[in-house]
Structure 1
Amino acid sequence: MITTKNRLEDLQRTCEVLQQLNPPPFEVLITADGCSDNTVNLIKHHYPQFKLIVNQTGQGSVASRAKMMQIAQGDLVLALDDDSYPEQLDCISSLINFFESRPKVAVVHFPQRTDEYPETLGQTEFGKEYSTRSFANSGACLRRDIYLQLPGFEGEFFHMYEEPDYALQCVGAGYEVLLTPIITIRHHYSTKSRASFRGHHQHARNEFWSTVMRCPMPQALLIVLYRIFSQARFITQRQGLNGLLQEPVWWWQAMQKLPYFLKKRQPLTWERYSAWLSLP
Protein backbone atom coordinates (compact mmCIF):
# COMPACT_ATOMS: atom_id res chain seq x y z
CA MET A 1 0.00 0.00 0.00
CA ILE A 2 1.17 3.50 -0.89
CA THR A 3 -0.15 6.94 -0.05
CA THR A 4 1.01 9.78 -2.27
CA LYS A 5 0.59 13.52 -2.75
CA ASN A 6 1.96 15.37 -5.78
CA ARG A 7 5.10 13.26 -6.24
CA LEU A 8 4.25 11.81 -9.63
CA GLU A 9 7.78 11.01 -10.81
CA ASP A 10 8.67 9.25 -7.57
CA LEU A 11 5.44 7.26 -7.67
CA GLN A 12 5.94 6.22 -11.29
CA ARG A 13 9.42 4.89 -10.52
CA THR A 14 8.03 2.84 -7.63
CA CYS A 15 5.14 1.51 -9.72
CA GLU A 16 7.55 0.34 -12.40
CA VAL A 17 9.43 -1.73 -9.81
CA LEU A 18 6.20 -3.17 -8.36
CA GLN A 19 5.23 -4.40 -11.81
CA GLN A 20 8.43 -6.46 -11.90
CA LEU A 21 7.91 -8.32 -8.62
CA ASN A 22 7.88 -12.10 -9.04
CA PRO A 23 5.66 -13.51 -7.73
CA PRO A 24 3.43 -10.47 -8.22
CA PRO A 25 1.47 -8.94 -5.33
CA PHE A 26 -2.14 -10.00 -4.89
CA GLU A 27 -3.09 -6.33 -5.21
CA VAL A 28 -1.51 -2.88 -5.10
CA LEU A 29 -3.41 -0.17 -3.23
CA ILE A 30 -2.55 3.48 -3.90
CA THR A 31 -4.22 6.46 -2.25
CA ALA A 32 -3.91 9.78 -4.06
CA ASP A 33 -4.37 12.07 -1.08
CA GLY A 34 -5.44 15.51 -2.25
CA CYS A 35 -3.26 15.39 -5.37
CA SER A 36 -3.37 18.42 -7.65
CA ASP A 37 -0.92 17.11 -10.25
CA ASN A 38 -1.43 14.32 -12.82
CA THR A 39 -1.11 11.44 -10.33
CA VAL A 40 -4.68 10.15 -10.73
CA ASN A 41 -4.46 10.08 -14.53
CA LEU A 42 -1.08 8.36 -14.37
CA ILE A 43 -2.45 5.46 -12.30
CA LYS A 44 -5.68 5.14 -14.28
CA HIS A 45 -3.99 5.05 -17.67
CA HIS A 46 -0.61 3.43 -17.04
CA TYR A 47 -1.35 1.12 -14.09
CA PRO A 48 -5.05 0.23 -14.37
CA GLN A 49 -4.43 -3.08 -12.56
CA PHE A 50 -3.66 -1.16 -9.36
CA LYS A 51 -6.50 -0.22 -7.03
CA LEU A 52 -6.72 3.56 -6.75
CA ILE A 53 -8.38 5.44 -3.90
CA VAL A 54 -8.80 9.17 -4.46
CA ASN A 55 -9.16 11.66 -1.61
CA GLN A 56 -10.24 14.86 -3.30
CA THR A 57 -9.34 16.71 -0.10
CA GLY A 58 -6.22 15.51 1.67
CA GLN A 59 -7.00 13.25 4.63
CA GLY A 60 -3.38 12.75 5.59
CA SER A 61 -1.06 9.78 5.16
CA VAL A 62 -2.13 8.15 8.43
CA ALA A 63 -5.87 8.12 7.69
CA SER A 64 -5.10 6.99 4.14
CA ARG A 65 -3.08 4.03 5.37
CA ALA A 66 -5.71 3.20 7.98
CA LYS A 67 -8.35 2.96 5.25
CA MET A 68 -6.16 0.80 3.04
CA MET A 69 -5.46 -1.57 5.93
CA GLN A 70 -9.22 -2.00 6.34
CA ILE A 71 -9.96 -2.72 2.68
CA ALA A 72 -6.87 -4.77 1.80
CA GLN A 73 -7.62 -8.34 0.77
CA GLY A 74 -4.27 -9.98 1.53
CA ASP A 75 -3.08 -11.47 4.81
CA LEU A 76 0.15 -9.45 4.62
CA VAL A 77 0.37 -5.76 3.68
CA LEU A 78 3.64 -4.30 2.43
CA ALA A 79 3.72 -0.59 3.28
CA LEU A 80 5.80 1.68 1.05
CA ASP A 81 6.21 5.38 0.38
CA ASP A 82 5.76 6.71 -3.13
CA ASP A 83 9.55 7.07 -3.29
CA SER A 84 10.53 3.65 -1.88
CA TYR A 85 10.47 0.07 -3.12
CA PRO A 86 11.97 -3.36 -2.31
CA GLU A 87 15.29 -4.12 -3.96
CA GLN A 88 14.64 -7.88 -4.20
CA LEU A 89 12.12 -8.77 -6.91
CA ASP A 90 11.30 -12.07 -5.14
CA CYS A 91 10.57 -10.28 -1.85
CA ILE A 92 6.98 -11.52 -1.62
CA SER A 93 8.08 -15.16 -1.31
CA SER A 94 10.58 -14.20 1.38
CA LEU A 95 7.93 -12.33 3.36
CA ILE A 96 5.38 -15.14 3.15
CA ASN A 97 7.93 -17.69 4.35
CA PHE A 98 9.06 -15.42 7.18
CA PHE A 99 5.57 -14.77 8.57
CA GLU A 100 4.57 -18.43 8.28
CA SER A 101 7.44 -19.34 10.60
CA ARG A 102 6.90 -16.46 13.08
CA PRO A 103 3.25 -16.33 14.21
CA LYS A 104 3.89 -13.78 17.01
CA VAL A 105 5.40 -11.18 14.68
CA ALA A 106 2.98 -8.35 13.87
CA VAL A 107 5.32 -6.10 11.86
CA VAL A 108 8.65 -6.56 10.12
CA HIS A 109 10.59 -3.67 8.69
CA PHE A 110 13.75 -3.59 6.70
CA PRO A 111 17.10 -1.83 6.30
CA GLN A 112 16.95 1.05 3.85
CA ARG A 113 19.41 2.38 1.35
CA THR A 114 18.33 5.98 1.40
CA ASP A 115 19.41 9.30 -0.03
CA GLU A 116 18.68 10.81 3.38
CA TYR A 117 21.78 8.98 4.66
CA PRO A 118 24.16 8.63 1.67
CA GLU A 119 26.49 6.31 3.60
CA THR A 120 23.81 3.59 3.38
CA LEU A 121 23.72 3.57 -0.43
CA GLY A 122 26.72 1.28 -0.72
CA GLN A 123 26.08 -0.69 2.45
CA THR A 124 25.96 -4.48 2.12
CA GLU A 125 25.92 -5.70 5.73
CA PHE A 126 22.96 -4.81 7.93
CA GLY A 127 23.49 -7.06 10.93
CA LYS A 128 21.07 -9.40 12.64
CA GLU A 129 17.37 -8.93 13.27
CA TYR A 130 16.18 -7.40 16.54
CA SER A 131 13.02 -6.11 18.20
CA THR A 132 12.21 -2.41 17.93
CA ARG A 133 9.68 0.06 19.31
CA SER A 134 8.93 1.63 15.94
CA PHE A 135 9.21 1.04 12.21
CA ALA A 136 8.94 3.02 9.00
CA ASN A 137 5.94 2.72 6.70
CA SER A 138 8.33 3.44 3.83
CA GLY A 139 9.38 -0.21 4.11
CA ALA A 140 7.44 -2.51 6.43
CA CYS A 141 5.17 -5.53 6.21
CA LEU A 142 2.17 -5.81 8.54
CA ARG A 143 0.14 -8.86 9.43
CA ARG A 144 -3.41 -7.69 8.72
CA ASP A 145 -5.32 -10.03 11.06
CA ILE A 146 -3.36 -8.65 14.03
CA TYR A 147 -3.90 -5.09 12.82
CA LEU A 148 -7.67 -5.63 12.80
CA GLN A 149 -7.57 -6.81 16.43
CA LEU A 150 -5.98 -3.56 17.61
CA PRO A 151 -6.98 0.13 17.45
CA GLY A 152 -4.62 0.54 14.48
CA PHE A 153 -3.46 3.78 12.88
CA GLU A 154 -5.08 6.86 14.43
CA GLY A 155 -6.42 8.97 11.59
CA GLU A 156 -6.42 12.18 13.64
CA PHE A 157 -2.63 12.05 13.62
CA PHE A 158 -2.86 13.10 9.93
CA HIS A 159 0.85 12.59 9.36
CA MET A 160 3.73 11.21 11.48
CA TYR A 161 4.06 8.95 14.52
CA GLU A 162 1.52 6.27 13.55
CA GLU A 163 4.35 3.73 13.45
CA PRO A 164 5.60 3.97 17.07
CA ASP A 165 2.00 4.25 18.29
CA TYR A 166 1.05 1.07 16.43
CA ALA A 167 4.24 -0.70 17.55
CA LEU A 168 3.25 0.17 21.12
CA GLN A 169 -0.15 -1.43 20.53
CA CYS A 170 1.54 -4.57 19.19
CA VAL A 171 3.99 -4.90 22.08
CA GLY A 172 1.17 -4.22 24.53
CA ALA A 173 -0.81 -7.11 23.03
CA GLY A 174 2.16 -9.48 23.23
CA TYR A 175 3.33 -9.32 19.61
CA GLU A 176 6.72 -8.50 18.14
CA VAL A 177 7.96 -5.74 15.86
CA LEU A 178 11.21 -6.73 14.18
CA LEU A 179 13.85 -5.11 12.03
CA THR A 180 15.19 -7.84 9.77
CA PRO A 181 17.53 -7.83 6.74
CA ILE A 182 15.62 -10.53 4.82
CA ILE A 183 15.01 -7.82 2.21
CA THR A 184 16.21 -4.24 1.76
CA ILE A 185 14.42 -1.07 0.68
CA ARG A 186 15.64 1.56 -1.74
CA HIS A 187 14.31 4.87 -0.45
CA HIS A 188 14.96 7.85 -2.70
CA TYR A 189 13.66 10.14 0.05
CA SER A 190 12.14 12.89 -2.04
CA THR A 191 12.53 16.33 -0.48
CA LYS A 192 9.26 17.45 -2.08
CA SER A 193 6.41 18.08 0.38
CA ARG A 194 8.64 17.79 3.44
CA ALA A 195 8.50 20.76 5.82
CA SER A 196 10.83 20.51 8.81
CA PHE A 197 8.89 22.64 11.29
CA ARG A 198 5.52 21.18 10.31
CA GLY A 199 6.89 17.65 10.48
CA HIS A 200 8.41 18.26 13.90
CA HIS A 201 5.18 19.76 15.22
CA GLN A 202 3.12 16.84 13.91
CA HIS A 203 5.52 14.31 15.38
CA ALA A 204 5.63 16.02 18.79
CA ARG A 205 1.85 16.55 18.91
CA ASN A 206 1.09 12.96 17.94
CA GLU A 207 3.62 11.59 20.41
CA PHE A 208 1.79 13.57 23.11
CA TRP A 209 -1.59 12.18 21.99
CA SER A 210 -0.24 8.63 21.92
CA THR A 211 0.99 9.03 25.49
CA VAL A 212 -2.43 10.27 26.55
CA MET A 213 -4.12 7.24 24.98
CA ARG A 214 -1.73 4.46 25.96
CA CYS A 215 0.33 5.34 29.07
CA PRO A 216 -1.05 4.38 32.51
CA MET A 217 -1.41 6.79 35.40
CA PRO A 218 0.38 8.20 37.29
CA GLN A 219 3.36 7.59 34.98
CA ALA A 220 1.57 9.36 32.11
CA LEU A 221 1.99 12.74 33.81
CA LEU A 222 5.77 12.35 33.99
CA ILE A 223 6.04 10.92 30.48
CA VAL A 224 4.03 13.82 29.03
CA LEU A 225 6.27 16.37 30.75
CA TYR A 226 9.36 14.55 29.54
CA ARG A 227 8.00 14.47 25.96
CA ILE A 228 7.40 18.22 25.99
CA PHE A 229 10.88 18.90 27.34
CA SER A 230 12.66 16.49 24.99
CA GLN A 231 10.90 17.87 21.91
CA ALA A 232 11.79 21.43 22.93
CA ARG A 233 15.41 20.40 23.44
CA PHE A 234 15.50 18.61 20.09
CA ILE A 235 14.20 21.53 18.03
CA THR A 236 16.40 24.01 19.90
CA GLN A 237 19.47 21.95 19.02
CA ARG A 238 18.36 21.83 15.38
CA GLN A 239 16.86 25.29 14.84
CA GLY A 240 18.02 27.38 17.78
CA LEU A 241 15.87 29.95 19.56
CA ASN A 242 13.59 30.33 16.54
CA GLY A 243 12.62 26.67 16.80
CA LEU A 244 11.97 26.89 20.53
CA LEU A 245 9.73 29.94 20.13
CA GLN A 246 7.51 27.99 17.71
CA GLU A 247 6.91 25.08 20.10
CA PRO A 248 3.59 26.55 21.37
CA VAL A 249 2.17 25.83 17.89
CA TRP A 250 1.97 22.11 18.59
CA TRP A 251 1.07 22.61 22.25
CA TRP A 252 -2.04 24.49 21.13
CA GLN A 253 -2.89 21.83 18.53
CA ALA A 254 -2.48 19.09 21.14
CA MET A 255 -4.77 20.84 23.63
CA GLN A 256 -7.52 21.39 21.05
CA LYS A 257 -7.94 17.64 20.49
CA LEU A 258 -7.19 16.54 24.05
CA PRO A 259 -10.86 15.70 24.93
CA TYR A 260 -11.07 13.42 21.88
CA PHE A 261 -7.96 11.47 22.89
CA LEU A 262 -9.00 11.25 26.53
CA LYS A 263 -12.21 9.57 25.36
CA LYS A 264 -10.12 7.07 23.38
CA ARG A 265 -7.83 6.36 26.32
CA GLN A 266 -7.04 2.64 26.70
CA PRO A 267 -3.89 2.56 28.83
CA LEU A 268 -1.58 -0.42 28.90
CA THR A 269 -0.09 -1.78 32.08
CA TRP A 270 3.13 -0.06 33.08
CA GLU A 271 4.92 -3.39 32.64
CA ARG A 272 3.91 -3.49 28.96
CA TYR A 273 4.44 0.22 28.37
CA SER A 274 7.90 0.22 29.95
CA ALA A 275 8.82 -2.92 27.97
CA TRP A 276 8.05 -0.96 24.79
CA LEU A 277 10.04 2.06 26.04
CA SER A 278 13.07 -0.14 26.67
CA LEU A 279 13.26 -1.28 23.04
CA PRO A 280 15.64 0.44 20.60
Structure 2
Amino acid sequence: MFTGSIVALITPMNKSGNICYSSLKNLIDYHVLHKTTAIVSIGTTGESATLSQEEHIKAVMLTLEIADKRIPIIAGTGANATTEAISLTKRFEKSGISACLTVTPYYNKPTQEGLYQHFKAISENTELPQILYNVPSRTGCDLLPKTIKRLSKFNNIIGIKEATGDLSRINKIKNVVKDNFLLISGDDATALDFMQLGGHGVISVTANVVAKEMKKMCSYALKGDFINARIINKRLSLLHEALFSEPNPIPIKWLAKKIGLIKYDTLRLPMTPISYSLKIKLEKAFQYANV
Protein backbone atom coordinates (compact mmCIF):
# COMPACT_ATOMS: atom_id res chain seq x y z
CA MET A 1 0.00 0.00 0.00
CA PHE A 2 2.80 2.45 0.83
CA THR A 3 5.40 1.74 -1.84
CA GLY A 4 6.04 3.48 -5.14
CA SER A 5 4.84 7.00 -5.91
CA ILE A 6 2.96 8.63 -3.01
CA VAL A 7 1.99 12.26 -3.53
CA ALA A 8 2.56 14.96 -0.92
CA LEU A 9 -0.64 16.72 -1.92
CA ILE A 10 -0.89 20.50 -2.13
CA THR A 11 -3.87 22.14 -0.42
CA PRO A 12 -5.73 24.18 -3.06
CA MET A 13 -7.21 27.40 -1.72
CA ASN A 14 -9.58 29.99 -3.14
CA LYS A 15 -8.78 33.71 -3.32
CA SER A 16 -9.75 34.22 0.31
CA GLY A 17 -7.45 31.44 1.52
CA ASN A 18 -10.07 28.80 2.26
CA ILE A 19 -9.92 25.26 0.87
CA CYS A 20 -11.18 25.07 -2.72
CA TYR A 21 -13.41 21.98 -2.93
CA SER A 22 -13.55 21.76 -6.73
CA SER A 23 -9.77 21.99 -7.09
CA LEU A 24 -9.23 19.41 -4.35
CA LYS A 25 -11.62 17.04 -6.11
CA ASN A 26 -9.81 17.62 -9.41
CA LEU A 27 -6.45 16.80 -7.79
CA ILE A 28 -7.71 13.62 -6.14
CA ASP A 29 -9.41 12.42 -9.33
CA TYR A 30 -6.15 13.10 -11.19
CA HIS A 31 -4.18 10.86 -8.82
CA VAL A 32 -6.77 8.10 -8.89
CA LEU A 33 -6.69 8.18 -12.70
CA HIS A 34 -2.91 7.91 -12.85
CA LYS A 35 -2.70 5.25 -10.12
CA THR A 36 -0.68 7.16 -7.55
CA THR A 37 -0.17 4.71 -4.67
CA ALA A 38 -1.45 6.98 -1.87
CA ILE A 39 -2.05 10.60 -0.92
CA VAL A 40 -0.44 12.40 2.01
CA SER A 41 -2.98 14.96 3.17
CA ILE A 42 -1.78 18.05 5.06
CA GLY A 43 1.91 17.41 5.30
CA THR A 44 4.56 20.06 4.70
CA THR A 45 3.49 20.51 1.06
CA GLY A 46 -0.13 20.77 2.22
CA GLU A 47 0.78 23.84 4.32
CA SER A 48 0.14 22.24 7.68
CA ALA A 49 2.13 25.03 9.35
CA THR A 50 -0.43 27.70 8.43
CA LEU A 51 -3.66 25.77 9.05
CA SER A 52 -5.40 25.74 12.41
CA GLN A 53 -5.94 22.29 13.90
CA GLU A 54 -9.64 22.42 13.03
CA GLU A 55 -8.84 23.39 9.43
CA HIS A 56 -6.24 20.62 9.33
CA ILE A 57 -8.76 18.00 10.44
CA LYS A 58 -11.44 19.35 8.11
CA ALA A 59 -9.08 19.19 5.11
CA VAL A 60 -8.04 15.59 5.83
CA MET A 61 -11.66 14.50 6.30
CA LEU A 62 -12.68 16.27 3.09
CA THR A 63 -9.89 14.49 1.24
CA LEU A 64 -11.13 11.18 2.65
CA GLU A 65 -14.68 11.96 1.57
CA ILE A 66 -13.72 12.87 -1.99
CA ALA A 67 -11.33 9.93 -2.33
CA ASP A 68 -14.19 7.61 -1.31
CA LYS A 69 -11.86 4.61 -0.76
CA ARG A 70 -10.45 4.87 -4.32
CA ILE A 71 -6.96 5.67 -3.00
CA PRO A 72 -5.40 5.35 0.49
CA ILE A 73 -5.08 8.58 2.47
CA ILE A 74 -2.19 9.19 4.86
CA ALA A 75 -2.81 12.03 7.31
CA GLY A 76 -0.09 14.39 8.44
CA THR A 77 -0.30 14.38 12.23
CA GLY A 78 3.01 15.79 13.43
CA ALA A 79 3.43 18.54 16.02
CA ASN A 80 6.23 19.90 18.17
CA ALA A 81 4.18 19.18 21.31
CA THR A 82 3.69 15.48 21.97
CA THR A 83 0.24 16.01 23.47
CA GLU A 84 -0.87 17.88 20.36
CA ALA A 85 0.43 15.14 18.04
CA ILE A 86 -1.44 12.53 20.09
CA SER A 87 -4.62 14.62 20.05
CA LEU A 88 -4.44 15.10 16.29
CA THR A 89 -3.77 11.40 15.72
CA LYS A 90 -6.71 10.39 17.89
CA ARG A 91 -9.07 12.57 15.84
CA PHE A 92 -8.46 10.23 12.89
CA GLU A 93 -9.08 6.95 14.73
CA LYS A 94 -11.69 4.89 12.89
CA SER A 95 -12.02 7.61 10.23
CA GLY A 96 -10.80 5.52 7.31
CA ILE A 97 -7.30 7.00 7.32
CA SER A 98 -4.77 4.37 6.25
CA ALA A 99 -1.79 5.72 8.22
CA CYS A 100 -0.28 8.81 9.82
CA LEU A 101 2.85 10.68 8.75
CA THR A 102 4.43 12.14 11.87
CA VAL A 103 7.22 14.68 11.54
CA THR A 104 9.90 15.09 14.17
CA PRO A 105 9.13 17.90 16.64
CA TYR A 106 10.28 21.18 15.13
CA TYR A 107 11.84 24.29 16.68
CA ASN A 108 12.33 22.88 20.20
CA LYS A 109 15.21 20.58 19.05
CA PRO A 110 14.75 17.49 21.28
CA THR A 111 17.54 15.04 22.04
CA GLN A 112 17.50 11.52 20.59
CA GLU A 113 15.93 10.32 23.85
CA GLY A 114 13.31 13.06 23.53
CA LEU A 115 12.54 11.95 19.97
CA TYR A 116 12.24 8.35 21.12
CA GLN A 117 9.87 9.24 23.97
CA HIS A 118 7.80 11.48 21.65
CA PHE A 119 7.15 8.79 19.04
CA LYS A 120 6.78 6.09 21.70
CA ALA A 121 4.01 8.09 23.36
CA ILE A 122 2.18 8.58 20.06
CA SER A 123 2.50 4.89 19.20
CA GLU A 124 1.13 3.82 22.57
CA ASN A 125 -1.92 6.05 22.17
CA THR A 126 -3.16 4.84 18.79
CA GLU A 127 -3.65 1.73 16.69
CA LEU A 128 -3.14 3.66 13.46
CA PRO A 129 0.03 2.79 11.49
CA GLN A 130 2.70 5.45 11.95
CA ILE A 131 5.27 6.59 9.38
CA LEU A 132 8.08 8.61 10.94
CA TYR A 133 9.15 11.74 9.04
CA ASN A 134 12.71 13.03 9.27
CA VAL A 135 13.42 16.39 7.59
CA PRO A 136 16.21 18.15 9.53
CA SER A 137 16.40 21.09 7.11
CA ARG A 138 12.96 22.18 8.29
CA THR A 139 12.75 20.91 11.86
CA GLY A 140 16.18 21.59 13.33
CA CYS A 141 16.60 18.03 14.59
CA ASP A 142 17.73 14.76 13.02
CA LEU A 143 16.22 11.35 13.79
CA LEU A 144 19.28 9.10 13.78
CA PRO A 145 19.41 5.40 12.78
CA LYS A 146 20.05 4.30 16.37
CA THR A 147 16.76 5.92 17.43
CA ILE A 148 14.90 4.58 14.38
CA LYS A 149 16.09 1.11 15.44
CA ARG A 150 14.47 1.52 18.87
CA LEU A 151 11.25 2.90 17.39
CA SER A 152 10.95 0.17 14.74
CA LYS A 153 10.23 -2.33 17.50
CA PHE A 154 6.74 -0.82 17.97
CA ASN A 155 4.32 -2.80 15.82
CA ASN A 156 2.44 0.23 14.53
CA ILE A 157 5.57 2.19 13.56
CA ILE A 158 5.85 0.80 10.05
CA GLY A 159 8.41 2.98 8.28
CA ILE A 160 10.09 6.32 7.77
CA LYS A 161 10.02 9.15 5.27
CA GLU A 162 13.70 10.02 5.12
CA ALA A 163 14.16 13.52 3.69
CA THR A 164 17.78 14.29 4.50
CA GLY A 165 18.86 13.65 0.89
CA ASP A 166 21.79 11.71 2.40
CA LEU A 167 21.88 8.40 0.52
CA SER A 168 24.33 6.89 3.02
CA ARG A 169 21.46 6.83 5.52
CA ILE A 170 19.66 4.03 3.68
CA ASN A 171 22.04 1.22 4.52
CA LYS A 172 22.54 2.56 8.04
CA ILE A 173 18.79 2.28 8.62
CA LYS A 174 18.33 -0.99 6.71
CA ASN A 175 21.00 -2.61 8.86
CA VAL A 176 19.10 -1.97 12.10
CA VAL A 177 15.43 -2.52 11.18
CA LYS A 178 13.29 -5.44 10.03
CA ASP A 179 13.04 -6.24 6.33
CA ASN A 180 9.40 -5.08 6.19
CA PHE A 181 10.15 -1.66 7.69
CA LEU A 182 9.34 0.87 4.96
CA LEU A 183 12.03 3.23 3.73
CA ILE A 184 10.44 6.07 1.78
CA SER A 185 12.36 8.94 0.22
CA GLY A 186 11.26 12.48 0.93
CA ASP A 187 13.55 14.02 -1.67
CA ASP A 188 12.47 13.87 -5.33
CA ALA A 189 15.93 14.63 -6.73
CA THR A 190 17.50 11.55 -5.09
CA ALA A 191 14.43 9.29 -4.96
CA LEU A 192 15.50 6.97 -7.78
CA ASP A 193 18.95 6.44 -6.26
CA PHE A 194 17.23 5.91 -2.92
CA MET A 195 15.14 3.10 -4.41
CA GLN A 196 18.12 1.54 -6.16
CA LEU A 197 19.81 1.32 -2.77
CA GLY A 198 16.83 -0.53 -1.30
CA GLY A 199 14.18 2.10 -0.64
CA HIS A 200 10.50 1.34 -1.23
CA GLY A 201 9.24 4.55 -2.82
CA VAL A 202 8.93 8.31 -2.50
CA ILE A 203 6.54 10.80 -0.96
CA SER A 204 6.75 13.20 -3.86
CA VAL A 205 6.14 16.90 -4.48
CA THR A 206 6.80 16.47 -8.21
CA ALA A 207 3.99 13.90 -8.47
CA ASN A 208 1.47 16.70 -7.94
CA VAL A 209 1.92 17.69 -11.60
CA VAL A 210 3.40 14.58 -13.28
CA ALA A 211 1.61 11.75 -11.49
CA LYS A 212 1.72 9.32 -14.42
CA GLU A 213 5.46 9.75 -14.97
CA MET A 214 6.34 9.43 -11.28
CA LYS A 215 4.19 6.30 -11.04
CA LYS A 216 5.93 4.73 -14.06
CA MET A 217 9.40 5.68 -12.83
CA CYS A 218 8.77 4.16 -9.40
CA SER A 219 7.17 1.03 -10.87
CA TYR A 220 10.22 0.41 -13.07
CA ALA A 221 12.55 0.98 -10.12
CA LEU A 222 10.71 -1.40 -7.81
CA LYS A 223 10.87 -4.08 -10.53
CA GLY A 224 14.62 -3.55 -10.81
CA ASP A 225 14.40 -1.98 -14.28
CA PHE A 226 16.64 0.99 -13.63
CA ILE A 227 17.39 1.60 -17.31
CA ASN A 228 13.81 2.63 -18.06
CA ALA A 229 13.43 4.28 -14.65
CA ARG A 230 16.43 6.51 -15.38
CA ILE A 231 15.11 7.49 -18.81
CA ILE A 232 12.00 8.90 -17.13
CA ASN A 233 13.90 10.41 -14.22
CA LYS A 234 16.27 12.23 -16.56
CA ARG A 235 13.28 14.00 -18.15
CA LEU A 236 12.00 14.95 -14.70
CA SER A 237 15.34 16.06 -13.26
CA LEU A 238 15.01 19.76 -14.13
CA LEU A 239 11.51 19.75 -12.65
CA HIS A 240 12.75 18.16 -9.40
CA GLU A 241 15.32 20.95 -9.14
CA ALA A 242 13.06 23.85 -10.10
CA LEU A 243 10.31 22.86 -7.69
CA PHE A 244 12.69 23.45 -4.78
CA SER A 245 14.29 26.65 -6.07
CA GLU A 246 11.96 28.58 -3.76
CA PRO A 247 10.34 27.26 -0.58
CA ASN A 248 7.84 24.44 -1.10
CA PRO A 249 4.89 24.72 -1.90
CA ILE A 250 5.33 28.09 -3.67
CA PRO A 251 6.56 26.62 -6.99
CA ILE A 252 4.35 23.53 -7.09
CA LYS A 253 1.14 25.50 -6.47
CA TRP A 254 1.96 27.95 -9.26
CA LEU A 255 2.71 25.13 -11.72
CA ALA A 256 -0.43 23.19 -10.74
CA LYS A 257 -2.46 26.30 -11.53
CA LYS A 258 -0.54 26.92 -14.75
CA ILE A 259 -1.43 23.47 -16.13
CA GLY A 260 -5.04 23.66 -14.96
CA LEU A 261 -5.08 21.27 -12.01
CA ILE A 262 -6.18 23.96 -9.55
CA LYS A 263 -7.96 27.30 -9.96
CA TYR A 264 -5.74 29.51 -7.82
CA ASP A 265 -2.18 29.37 -6.47
CA THR A 266 -3.20 31.10 -3.24
CA LEU A 267 -0.72 30.81 -0.38
CA ARG A 268 -0.96 31.86 3.24
CA LEU A 269 1.60 34.20 4.75
CA PRO A 270 4.47 33.95 5.40
CA MET A 271 4.54 32.14 2.02
CA THR A 272 4.67 34.75 -0.77
CA PRO A 273 4.02 34.57 -4.54
CA ILE A 274 6.52 32.98 -6.89
CA SER A 275 9.21 35.10 -8.57
CA TYR A 276 9.02 35.83 -12.29
CA SER A 277 12.38 34.19 -12.98
CA LEU A 278 11.25 30.92 -11.40
CA LYS A 279 8.06 30.93 -13.49
CA ILE A 280 10.24 30.88 -16.62
CA LYS A 281 12.46 28.15 -15.17
CA LEU A 282 9.45 26.00 -14.26
CA GLU A 283 7.87 26.35 -17.69
CA LYS A 284 11.11 25.20 -19.33
CA ALA A 285 11.49 22.30 -16.89
CA PHE A 286 7.92 21.16 -17.48
CA GLN A 287 8.46 21.28 -21.24
CA TYR A 288 11.69 19.27 -20.83
CA ALA A 289 9.74 16.64 -18.91
CA ASN A 290 7.81 16.09 -22.14
CA VAL A 291 4.61 15.15 -20.29
Q: TM-score w.r.t. structure 1 length? A: 0.32
Structure exhibiting the larger radius of gyration computed from Cα positions: 1
Q: TM-score w.r.t. structure 2 length? A: 0.31
